[in-house]
Chains A and B, each alone.
Chain A
Amino acid sequence: MTDNLLEIHEIHTFIGQFHILEGVSVRVPKGSITVLLGRNGAGKTTTLKSIMGMTPPARGSITFEGQSLIGKRPFTIAQMGVGYVPEHRAIFKALTVRENLLVAQRTSTDLERKADLIFQLFPDLKRLYALPGGNLSGGQQQMLAIARALVPDNRLLLIDEPSEGLAPVIIEQLMAAITQLSAQATVLLVEQNFRVASKLADRFVIIDEGKSPIHGEMRSLVGDEALIHRYLGVA
């Protein structure tokens, strides 16, 4: 058994007739923050959805804690200890903050046990507890989406574009929270904002045109402007 919590090997995923992932491999060491980098449409979100079983891969393998996730339905994968924070948050707007968190419970005491941790990471949520999710600002909704993944004892968190569309001051708060919660769970992040990604992550995997050509330590990527420019279009 390796010290990788998650190992993805050469997965091929189709959406309809489109071949989106053409052999993506990612390994996520236990306790790390790993980030998937790449241009829009490269296949980062599809990689997370493939892990969750929402767009199941046609070929390749995905193992979590040594167990295969292939062929399992999303709810089983979630129950194995994988938390998912999707792009655009997908919080339940008609439900209150409390109800949003209650949906994520797997035992009747989950929320009670995790309330202190959640309110310490996101103090705003305590004040907004009885309000409908639809009344929250974009940043608050993102906090709620992450908090929802923290309610059960998840060992891996998949977080898709947490900084998207948020003000810099909110992004700073979220970055602090993600750094803190990485003490509780391993994180696999998708992040377009390279500045945010480089500050948060220990490791990176570049996804490009449905493949994963390069991976490594984040600090080695930060100085490599040619590589950043080639795959991410920023320098």
Chain B
Amino acid sequence: MNKTADRTSILAICVVIVVLLVIGYLSAGSLGTFGITVLSGLFQGMLLFLVASGLSIIFGLMDILNFAQGAYFMIGAYVAYDLQHPGGVIDLTAIIPDPNVRFPVAVFGAILVGAILGVVLERGLLRPLYARPIFQLVLTFGVSLVLLEMVKFIWTTTPYSWTEVFGVRENFFELFGQRFSTYRLFVVGMGAALIIGIALLLRRTRIGIIIRAGVEDSAMVEALGINVRAIFTLVFTLGCAIAALGGAVAAPFLGASTSIGTTFLIQGIAVVVLGGMGSYEGTAVGSIMVGLAIAVAQSAAIGTDFAALPSITPMLLLILVLLLRPSGLFGGSGAR
């Protein structure tokens, strides 16, 4: 990417964020309410990042738009809910009575299930279809439907609201006269740590350098003596596991429902296109922008007839960015 394009992107990012913050502040009316909007935006942005980062890296490296990524998010939410609450498929309450200890175990369980299902999908189903990209697209869509039906079969179609009380979920802190959820702050912190962690993995480690090289030209990486298919499996599995982690940490706030996967998949695709297909930096920045935009739209829509505003906001933002930069914010640079 040349310097002019670089400046246009950074300018576009700054303009969008400042506009969002100004609208957020005006619609909130007070600093405390504005703070809640920002925290809620960052919370949603981090959850989006957990879906979109996998979508983006998998697309960049393997040229697969994984339509099943939302289903992995949904399964993460259900598995975490199931492990945390009594009376589930696997009842951990007797073995681990302390909910504060059970929660990390539930999250880990969700990551594990996501990773196992990721390996099965890549090795068992996608691998024979590498020469047929369209078939792969249809296959991941089909797998997402199968996973959805599987969830309905195991947990029924009734949405679950998180009822189990545990430390960080219940705590609040006060700022500008408003009560803020510690759990949201925890998820924002975890998301930020993951953004930095994955960036360091991609920049500083040999496997990360190989992944970035593979995003540019996987055939050349293979010709240099690297088993690219093993890298594909690793990246695909990590992508699915991170999506399941997203669902698991979202569940205490959003519960577990069959619609949660589709919502996050559509928003995640908007983030990936907006950030520039295959660009990791674009995905990170795009997630935060879309998360903030949704929160501002939610705040602005209160008391008006525009109840649909938050759900159409990601697409409105996507249209705006693509009009300014048709290849996305970081398109044609970064990882790609």
Contact = CB atoms under 8 A, between A and B. Distances in A.
A93 B1 CA distance: 11
Contact of A54 (B216, B221, B223, B336): B223
Interface string A130-174: 000000000000000000100010000000000000000000000
Contacts of B335: 94
Interface residues of A, number: 23
A78 B210 contact: no
A104 B220 CA distance: 10
- Interface residues of B: mostly helix, strand, loop or mixed? helix
Given A94-B336, A99-B209, A148 B216 contact: no
Given A94-B216, A94-B336, A103 B224 contact: yes
A103 B228 CA distance: 12
A62 interface: no
A102 B210 CA distance: 9
B293 to A, nearest CB: 28
Contacts of B212: 92, 94-95, 99
A210 interface: no
Given A86-B220, A94-B335, A102-B206, A75 B225 contact: yes
- Interface residue range, chain B: 20 to 34
B226 A75 contact: yes
Interface string B202-245: 00001001101101110111111111100000000000000000
20 contacts: A54-B219, A54-B223, A73-B222, A73-B227, A74-B222, A75-B222, A75-B223, A75-B224, A78-B222, A78-B224, A84-B223, A84-B224, A92-B212, A92-B216, A93-B216, A94-B215, A94-B336, A95-B212, A102-B209, A103-B221
Interface of A: 52, 54, 73-75, 78-79, 84, 86, 90, 92-95, 99-100, 102-106, 148, 152
Task: List the 7 closest pairs (A to B, CB-CB), nearest first.
Answer: A78-B225, A90-B220, A92-B213, A79-B225, A74-B222, A84-B223, A103-B213
Interface of B: 206, 209-210, 212-213, 215-217, 219-228, 333-336
